[in-house]
Amino acid sequence: MTTTEPVYDPADLRSGRALVNYQLVQLGIGESWVYGVSEHGQRTARHVVPADVGVCRAYVLTEAAWPDGAELCVTVSWTPDTALRRDYQKGKFPAGATEHWQERVAATACALESLGYVVESSGGSSLHYHYDAGLLVSRLCEGATPREALPDAAWALPKPVPPNHQERIWRYADRSPEHVVRDVVRKAGWRWFDDDPQAPDGRGAHPITQMVWPPEAKRCTWVT
């Protein structure tokens, strides 16, 4: 477990993830690993997660999806406490799951805001469809103004896009955002990275968290 606060280097996006993960642990809502040596001389690693509040993890996010004026930005996922997660065999939730989701997501946002971060939640996250809730967490440059929050109704799609409890992957008939964009790029006459990895002007499409999808988007991908 890291005992000193990581230094953020804007040139290395992973350092932003490391910093926020460290701070999540300090706030009592992040995960950590405790390393040691057993009585037999073998190295050990113990996974430690907070009790009763769920667990948060920070992830790297491409700068292409950062809010304007951000000098650091990551996504943070919150996963419910083990005892309050969906029962996959029965397809049901235990008593108190809804309140746990609502209260802990709000508490997580408040905890991060107390450190000076701007926190945006996705209205598209729901315990009835998703495994976890997502938060967009950024630190703005001096003088930058946070963008206006959208109402939850802005994400009111007829049904959630994959992955979710009902559809864990994109079915072939639906085709993932990456497949759809690949065909568009080819029709435009551009090279696709999968066709020729050595091509200097090859394009590629990558999955991107639904946290940064525009409201009501049915598909979204990141093209490089």
Q: What is the pLDDT of residues 82-99, one digit of tens each?
A: 888 888 777 788 899 999
- Residue 1: pLDDT over 70: no
- CA triplet 192, 66, 2: central angle to 5 degrees? 105
- Percentage of the chain exceeding pLDDT 70: 88
Tokens 């864990």 correspond to: 168
More confident residue, 198 or 17: 17
Q: Average pLDDT in the 167-190 region?
A: 78
Question: How confident is residue 118, by pLDDT bands cut at 50, 70 and 90?
Answer: very high
Which phi and psi (to 5°) does residue 183 adopt? -65, -40
- State whether residue 134 is helix, strand or coil: strand
140: Cα separation from own chain's centroid? 19
pLDDT at 182 (0 to 100) = 81
| Whole-number Å distance between alpha carbons of 59 and 25 | 14
More confident residue, 36 or 99: 99
Average pLDDT, the chain: 84
CB 192 within 8 A of CB 202: yes
Question: How confident is residue 195, by pLDDT bands cut at 50, 70 and 90?
Answer: low
139: Cα separation from own chain's centroid? 16
pLDDT at 33 (0 to 100) = 80
DSSP single-letter state for residue 65? G
- Residue 212: pLDDT over 70: yes
Whether the upstream peptide bond of residue 214 has omega within 30° of 0, thus cis, is: no
pLDDT tens across 54-93, in order?
999 999 999 999 999 999 999 999 999 988 888 877 778 8
191: tokens are: 């090279």
Lowest mean pLDDT among 10-14, 23-27, 76-80, 172-176: 172-176
pLDDT at 46 (0 to 100) = 75
More confident residue, 73 or 132: 73
Position 23, amino acid: Q
- Residue 199: pLDDT over 60: no
- Residue 200: pLDDT over 60: no
**Total-model pTM:** 0.84
CB 78 within 8 A of CB 56: yes
145: tokens are: 């103004």
